[in-house]
Structure 1
Amino acid sequence: MSSVRGKVVFITGGAAGVGAEVAHRLHAKGAKLVLTDIDEDLLTRQRDELGTDRVLTIVADVRDLPAMQGAAAAAVERFGGIDIVLANAGIASYGSVLQVDPEAFKRVLDINVLGVFHTVRATLPSVIERRGYVLIVSSLAAYAAAPGLAPYNASKAAVEHFANALRLEVAHRGVDVGSAHMSWIDTALVRDSKADMSTFGEMLSRLPGPLKTTTSVARCGEAFVKGIERRRTRVNCPGWVGLVRWLRPILSTRVGEMPVRAIVPDILPRMDAEVAALGRSTSAHNEELEQD
């Protein structure tokens, strides 16, 4: 296991949730942090909690490549380089393909996919120079789809394969690349979805086996830190998510889809009705940040 003490870690979506949890854990282990986010208030809170000695916070939108390049340049100027990148920023949308606001669909892809590319593109020269490590946050959704979450499913499958391609491109340069795959995590993404749509929580409760379980942010942060320290190719949280990866060919067959197909005729129309009543296809917090 390699030490993160003294290493410079660049985290997108570092103001809250898993990004903030990982930041706190790495900081306690002696890492230097570069935290980016579009939520300036929460980012300031992180800076106040962690102090400024080994922490640099930057308000930047992952959809903006020049902004991410500026953040990477600031990291190099402050700390001399970048050793580790956690491409963590991401959002989800509400509603089926027929119901979801097309702009919300595009926003999910812009943040979750292009945002990962922009993050990696901006930081990779320094990571290569330091023979570092990149961890791209994908999801269990890359292995098993869920109705009403097509944009999120598509984005997480995309960045998993992006990580696979990147790994092949930079391995000979001494850089390791991993992808992280989590089940439902008790973050604002899941909590807001449950608060906005009763059918979301109902859908989770009716999924088969462990697919219905929600994992704590602390447990997810612990898994991420271990993965970073060990420069793992895949980080699965909880561990059973790794089994779902091997079952993926079966899960996308008619037989594998049967348990979820059974609940769709009842759940999906009611979910879409809730989305229509909300008048938005994402959380109120995301809408507010988008308007700022």
Structure 2
Amino acid sequence: MSSVDGKVILITGAARGIGAHTARALARKGARLVLTDLDAEPLEALVAEIGADRAIGVTCDVCDLASMESAVAEGVERFGGIDVVLANAGIASYGSVLAVDPSTFKRVIDINITGVFHTVRAALPSVIERRGYVLVVSSLAAYGPAPGLAAYNASKAGAEHFANALRLEVAHHGVAVGSAHMSWIDTPLVQDAKKDLTAFNEMLASLPGLLSKTTSVDACVAAFVKGIEGRSRRVNVPGWVGAAGWLKRVITSRVGERETLKHVPRILPLMDAEVAALGRSTSERNTALEDVAVSPK
């Protein structure tokens, strides 16, 4: 029997990508799911696919605490409580600090950090009651930054340290906390960036060795499920990302930055020009979803 069989798992950003595929994998192992996203149509389709007896979907914005509290309340009413939280919702922006749209920069921080806080804050009383587990989705970007992605880099570093602080606060309640750190995964986030920006593709091509490779969503999901089942402190995808965590000070040293700095004078102006031509600093999908976002109260 799987360790998640019968457990109730809250997943944010569940409509697409890692969130949706992880939901399917956990459902196959017998979990019951509380799924949230701003994108109502694919969320409803996912719930229908998994089965209304195993999952509920709540359309809401992680930036709105009241909405997350309502989603958790629906999950508790339906399934009795929340055992596991996968704080997965996240977006990225494009462009240098001088070129990125300030409102998009703020939106990235709001979703990727404040959204994690709202998710955890809303679910934590039930998770404590059940001595459960929280997995906060951070990134390799918490260990090694990329030029042109400052909001994403900052937010994922913040998400990691939020998880570190939370771990200290809830350990005596029997709650375990982990953070997930992924390199490039073949998700809509990466696919959209590749489609929008020649500069993004050139940046990937300029990275050495494993850093330039994109990992499949299936491999990422397998690592997430294993991490949830094992209540892991760190989930690294692929496994070599763990070494980057240990080498963070080297990566951000003059020596570690030397190779990247060779390419910045060429790639960053190209990215900024392409962002200006697009008229947006994030994917078209994210721009559309901002229009339906619930305004924070």
TM norm structure 1: 0.99
Equivalences for residues 91-130 of structure 1 within 5 A: 91-130=91-130
Q: Count residues in correspondence.
A: 292
1:24 maps to what in 2? 24
Report deviation, 1:39.
Answer: 0.2
Counterpart code for 1:167: R
Report deviation, 1:2.
Answer: 6.4
Report deviation, 1:82.
Answer: 0.3
TM-superposition CA deviations, 1:245-266 (whole Å, max 9, x none):
1110111111110111111011
Equivalences for residues 54-65 of structure 1 within 5 A: 54-65=54-65
Report deviation, 1:192.
Answer: 0.5
Equivalences for residues 6-25 of structure 1 within 5 A: 6-25=6-25
Q: Secondary structure at the match of 2:116?
A: helix
TM-superposition CA deviations, 1:64-102 (whole Å, max 9, x none):
000000011111100000000000000000100010000
1:33 maps to what in 2? 33
Q: Secondary structure at the match of 1:10?
A: strand
- Is the Cα contact below 8 Å between 2:2 and 2:29 reproduced in 1? no
Q: Segments of 4+ in structure 1 off by > 6 A?
A: none
1:224 aligns with 2:224: yes
Q: Secondary structure at the match of 2:247?
A: helix
1:68 aligns with 2:68: yes
Mapped to 2, the partners of 1:218 and 1:49 lie a distance apart of: 18
1:148 maps to what in 2? 148
Percent of aligned pairs sharing the same letter: 66
- Is the Cα contact below 8 Å between 2:16 and 2:42 reproduced in 1? yes
Counterpart code for 1:162: F
TM-superposition CA deviations, 1:121-168 (whole Å, max 9, x none):
000000000000000000000000000000000000001000000000
Q: Secondary structure at the match of 1:214?
A: coil
1:179 maps to what in 2? 179
1:281 maps to what in 2? 281
Mapped to 1, the partners of 2:47 and 2:180 lie a distance apart of: 25
Q: Secondary structure at the match of 2:177?
A: strand
Q: Secondary structure at the match of 1:112?
A: helix
TM norm structure 2: 0.97
TM-superposition CA deviations, 1:230-280 (whole Å, max 9, x none):
000000000000011111011111111011111101110011000011010
Equivalences for residues 191-230 of structure 1 within 5 A: 191-230=191-230
Report deviation, 1:209.
Answer: 1.9
Q: What value does the CA root-mean-square deviation take over the aligned residues? A: 0.9
TM-superposition CA deviations, 1:47-73 (whole Å, max 9, x none):
121110110110010000000000111
TM-superposition CA deviations, 1:191-210 (whole Å, max 9, x none):
10011111101110111221
- Is the Cα contact below 8 Å between 2:2 and 2:30 reproduced in 1? no
- Is the Cα contact below 8 Å between 2:38 and 2:59 reproduced in 1? yes
List gaps (5 residues or longer) in structure 2. 293-297
Mapped to 1, the partners of 2:62 and 2:98 lie a distance apart of: 27
Q: Secondary structure at the match of 1:23?
A: helix
Q: Secondary structure at the match of 1:58?
A: strand
- Is the Cα contact below 8 Å between 1:2 and 1:230 reproduced in 2? no
